[in-house]
Amino acid sequence: MPLSARNQIPARVTSINAGEAIANVELSANGVRLVASITVEAVRELGLAEGSNVTAVIKASDVILATD
């Protein structure tokens, strides 16, 4: 599916921590840990499980950096 978002990162699901409504889906993108918070319903609809290959699509209006 073509998207206009340019920040598309191939990743693999390493764990899914589901709560009542929200699941934290942990990903490994070439060894970099990412976490996506999505609905439990979305996890089911996407058929996500440990080992699933996904594309993390990041659409953010702000990125804030800080230094020590």
pLDDT in tens, 22-68: 999 999 999 999 999 999 999 999 999 999 999 999 887 777 888 98
Q: What would the two tokens of residue 25 be?
A: 């889906």
Q: Mean of the pLDDT values across residues 2-6?
A: 83
Boundaries of domain holding 21: 8-54
Q: Mean of the pLDDT values across residues 18-24?
A: 97
Q: Is residue 16 part of a domain?
A: yes
Q: Is residue 65 part of a domain?
A: no
Question: What is the spatial distance between Cα 31 and Cα 13, in angstroms, rounded to a whole number?
Answer: 12
| Chain segment 5-15, per-residue pLDDT in tens | 888 999 999 99
CATH assignment at residue 31: 2.40.50.100
Q: Is residue 64 part of a domain?
A: no
Q: Is residue 24 part of a domain?
A: yes
Q: What would the two tokens of residue 61 be?
A: 């209006």
Q: Based on the structure, what is the number of domains in the chain?
A: 1
* Residue 59: predicted pLDDT: 82
Q: Is residue 3 part of a domain?
A: no
Whether the predicted pLDDT of 1 surpasses 80: no
